[in-house]
């Protein structure tokens, strides 16, 4: 039976960071746009005759060029139907270029070597904001991040889209602006309010809720100058504790000070005992394995020399005992379910 004995100490961390790193300006954001089109020039790796929408799209395109062709008579495998997606950045101006992602929606084997035909890219309002066209780059990896594949069906056209319609964001003439925290937190909202008011030595910032801070522009500054200054102000930031687990790879990411409450837990041949103790002591006959961990008389017992009990210590201790990533993930999930870990646990 393997036993881990850890000692409990509550830790609180506050970090200094720029407001720009934790909050964004309401109204200044990216916009998703999408379009449907055809990729041509494929070497018999395009959609087959079972993709009826591709054949119909080819027929419609030819009709627009005064060529009347029945979809049934089209046998080409050099064309593929695709969906084009992109992100339109804020303040993008007419003529600006940006990258687009091209993804097959038929039964094409590969888009390698293909050329995307002119594609209108629309927003959720149905209006056209950009036009896309160009040679597709595969580059050995598809845009989903997968490894090298022999028949990639996702590619990128670098600088393949041109902005046709601008999204108007009028900040210059505004008297008020609103900051939005990237993560909801009352303390951080109040911290931004205090940091901005202290910087200008006047009450121009008001925390409206756990995420929104309303700002009033000083009379001697333009809104652009004001927001540039605000974004660069230092604040006392309290990060939200999270544990991120990737079950596929066994990767665990957690803050070093995420507290684990006292508990006794058994998983297979591993038993974990987390005991509360104000003054940590090192057992007689124990052996120090690093600056924080100590092995007791029983080689399956681990102690922390600093008296801290955190997720980081639990994971490190389990690794010392040779526990597999799957075992460690199961133990953390059980601790979260039992209420021993208050931090958010996210499995991806």
**The pLDDT value given to residue 195:** 95
At residue 176, does pLDDT exceed 90? Answer: yes
**How far apart are the C-alpha atoms of 233 and 23, rounded to whole Å?**
12
Q: What is the pLDDT of residues 281-320, one digit of tens each?
A: 555 555 454 545 444 445 455 555 555 577 877 787 777 7
Tokens of 49: 């005759």
Distance separating alpha carbons of residues 282 and 264, to the nearest angstrom: 20
Integer Cα distance of 53 and 341 in angstroms: 52
Using the 8-state DSSP alphabet, how is residue 346 labeled?
E
- Report yes or no: 345 and 314 within 8 Å, Cβ to Cβ: no
pLDDT band at 263 (very low <50, low <70, confident <90, very high): confident
**Structure-token match 């300006």, residue found:** 25
Is residue 6 scored above 50 in pLDDT?
no
Residues 145 and 78 in one domain: yes
SS3 labels along 274-319? EEECCCCCCCCCCEECCCCEEECCCCCCEEECCCCCEHHHHHHHHH
Are residues 43 and 75 located together in one domain of the fold?
yes
Token duo for residue 295: 């092995």
Query: Is 10 part of any domain?
Result: no
pLDDT for 301 equals: 52
Share of the chain above pLDDT 70, in %: 81
CA terminus-to-terminus distance, the chain: 31
| Residues 229 and 245 occupy one common structural domain | no
Least-confidence region, from 165-169, 240-244, 274-278, 297-301: 297-301
Q: Which residue has the higher pLDDT, 210 or 277?
A: 210
What pLDDT does residue 194 have?
A: 95
149 and 230 housed in the same domain: no
On the question of pLDDT at 142 being above 70, the answer is: no
Reported as a single tens digit per residue, the pLDDT across 16-66 is: 789 999 999 998 999 999 999 999 999 889 888 788 888 888 888 888 888
For the chain, how many structural domains are there in total? 3
Work out the mean pLDDT of the chain and round it to a whole number: 82
pLDDT of the residue at 10: 38
pLDDT (0 to 100) of residue 68: 86
Rounded to whole angstroms, the Cα distance separating 194 from 71 reads 67
Percent of the residues in the chain that have a pLDDT greater than 90, as a whole number: 43
Q: Write the CB contacts of 182 (distance below 8 Å, at least 6 apart in sequence).
A: 22, 23, 24
83-138 pLDDT per residue, tens: 999 999 999 999 999 999 999 999 999 999 999 999 999 999 999 999 999 999 98
Q: Could you tell me the CA-to-CA distances from 186 to 9, 181, 199 in Å, in that order?
A: 25, 10, 20
Cβ(254)–Cβ(312) below 8 Å: yes
Q: What region, left, alpha or beta, does residue 99 occupy, with left being phi > 0 and alpha being psi -120 to 50 degrees?
A: beta
Report the range of poorest mean pLDDT among 17-31, 137-151, 334-348: 137-151
- Is residue 103 located within the same domain as residue 82? yes
The answer for residues whose C-beta is within 8 angstroms of residue 324's C-beta and 6 or more apart is 250
Q: What's the residue count for the chain?
A: 348
Are 46 and 150 found together in one domain? yes
What is residue 146's predicted lDDT score, i.e. its pLDDT?
Answer: 43
Do the domain assignments include residue 2?
no
Rounded Cα gap, residues 152 and 301, in angstroms: 51
> What is the Cα–Cα distance from 180 to 189, expressed in whole angstroms?
9
pTM recorded for the entire structure? 0.66
Q: Do 68 and 124 have their domain in common? A: yes
| Domain-ending residue, one of 145, 163, 181 | 163
Q: Which domain holds residue 216?
A: 15-27+170-237
Tokens linked to 275: 């005991």
Q: Which of 120, 147, 163 is the last residue of a domain?
A: 163
Question: Does 333 share its domain with 321?
Answer: yes
CA distances for 336 relative to 178, 303, 331, 340, angstroms? 36, 22, 9, 6
The domain that contains 214 carries what CATH number? Answer: 3.90.1150
Q: What is the reported pLDDT for 306?
A: 54
* Residue 25 near residue 174 (C-beta atoms within 8 A): no
Cα–Cα dist 204/193, whole Å = 8
| pLDDT of 140 | 54
């Amino acid at each position: 039976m393997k036993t881990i004995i850890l000692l409990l100490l509550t830790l609180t961390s506050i970090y200094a960071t720029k407001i720009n790193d934790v909050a964004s300006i309401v109204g200044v954001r990216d916009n998703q746009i999408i379009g449907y089109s055809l990729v041509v020039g494929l070497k018999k790796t395009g959609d087959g005759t079972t993709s009826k929408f591709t054949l119909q799209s080819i027929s419609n395109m030819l009709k627009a060029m005064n060529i009347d062709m029945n979809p049934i008579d089209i046998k080409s495998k050099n064309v593929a139907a695709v969906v084009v997606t992109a992100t339109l950045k804020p303040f993008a101006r007419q003529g600006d270029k940006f990258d687009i992602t091209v993804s097959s929606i038929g039964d094409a084997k590969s888009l390698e070597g293909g050329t995307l035909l002119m594609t209108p890219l629309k927003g959720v309002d149905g209006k056209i904001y950009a036009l896309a066209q160009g040679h597709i780059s595969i580059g050995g990896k598809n845009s989903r991040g997968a490894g090298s594949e022999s028949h990639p069906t996702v590619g990128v056209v670098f600088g393949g889209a041109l902005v046709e319609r601008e999204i108007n964001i009028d900040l210059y003439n505004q008297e008020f602006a609103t900051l939005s925290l990237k993560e909801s937190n009352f303390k951080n909202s109040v911290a931004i309010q205090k940091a901005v008011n202290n910087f200008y030595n006047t009450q121009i910032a008001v925390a409206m809720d756990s995420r929104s801070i309303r700002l009033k522009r000083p009379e001697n500054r333009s809104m652009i100058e004001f927001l540039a200054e605000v974004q660069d102000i230092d604040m006392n930031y309290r990060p939200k504790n999270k544990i991120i687990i990737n079950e596929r790879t066994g990767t665990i990411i957690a803050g070093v000070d995420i507290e684990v409450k006292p508990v006794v837990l058994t998983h297979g041949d591993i038993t974990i005992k987390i005991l509360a103790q104000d003054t940590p002591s090192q057992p007689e006959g124990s052996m120090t394995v690093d600056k924080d961990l100590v092995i007791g008389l029983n080689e399956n017992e681990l102690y922390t020399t600093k008296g801290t009990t955190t997720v980081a210590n639990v994971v490190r201790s389990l690794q010392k005992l040779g526990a597999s990533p799957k075992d460690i993930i199961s133990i953390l999930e059980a601790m979260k379910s039992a209420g021993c870990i208050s931090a958010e646990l996210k499995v991806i």
